[in-house]
Amino acid sequence: METFAEPREFVENTRYARDRQRAASAFAPQSIDAPIRDVILGFARLPHCFTLQSCYGHFVHAAQPDPGNLAALPAEDVGSIRYRIAYVALCIEHNATGARLRGALEDIPTIDSEYVQFGSPGWFWEQHPNTYALQVEPERFIHRDEAIIEHCEALHVQWVRDQFFERLRQLVDVSQQEVGAG
């Protein structure tokens, strides 16, 4: 599955309102990973974007073999870890508010540019123009949705993932304030 492609420029999307309505009617908050449910619900309240997909990111290893587990990594080395990427894919409305959101999203990789990417995966874009995705993935695995990494690196990825979602929480708060003030 393609997980990364360079970000594209905004284009006109006459289907945005219809697509957003469809996404809202299909929205199932219980299907969102619990640790990021607040972030995704926050994006859902913004009129200038809607979430297509998201994942908290999962660390699968001998002591935690469930592929959907939400547990933090243990401090002791558990050997090789299969990391399933954390990401958020948003369709953004082509207007001034949407452009500000896109600009803020582009800044998120400053957390650690070797582990956070911003782009426009083609398979999302084909369905929903102006889709942008952020992912937390070691750069050498940028095009994959999972990677086998060692424990020490996994601890760093976990830290980056946690910072990533905290920055998204802050961004949602600021965006909601802008919408409320507008």
pTM: 0.95
Whether the predicted pLDDT of 1 surpasses 80: no
pLDDT in tens, 97-117: 999 999 999 999 999 999 999
Whether the predicted pLDDT of 44 surpasses 60: yes
pLDDT in tens, 147-173: 999 999 999 999 999 999 999 999 999
pLDDT above 90 coverage of the chain, percent: 93
Average pLDDT for the chain: 95
Whether the predicted pLDDT of 182 surpasses 80: no
Please report, for residues 25, 29, 56, 127, the alpha-carbon distance to residue 160 in angstroms, rounded to integers and kept in the order given. Answer: 32, 24, 12, 29
**Nearest residue to 133 via CA among 69, 67, 43:** 43
pLDDT in tens, 60-76: 999 999 999 999 999 99
pLDDT above 70 coverage of the chain, percent: 98
DSSP H helices, the chain, are 16-26, 37-44, 96-107, 122-127, 151-181
Please report, for residues 22, 92, 93, 127, the alpha-carbon distance to residue 17 in angstroms, rounded to integers and kept in the order given. Answer: 9, 11, 9, 14
Query: What confidence score (pLDDT) does residue 138 get?
Result: 97
**Nearest residue to 59 via CA among 167, 133, 163, 136:** 136
Residue range 16-181 in CATH 3.30.1960: yes
Q: What is the DSSP letter of 43?
A: H
Report the alpha-carbon distance of residue 144 to residue 151 in Å, rounded.
Answer: 19
Q: How confident is the model at residue 2 (pLDDT cuts 50, 70, 90)?
A: low
The contacts of residue 54 (CB under 8 Å, 6+ apart) are 32, 33, 36, 39, 40, 87, 88, 89
Pairing of strands 49-55, 86-92: antiparallel
Whether the predicted pLDDT of 51 surpasses 60: yes
Whether the predicted pLDDT of 123 surpasses 90: no
Question: Are the CB atoms for 102 and 92 separated by under 8 Å?
Answer: yes
Whether the predicted pLDDT of 175 surpasses 90: yes
**Nearest residue to 141 via CA among 91, 88, 86, 102:** 86
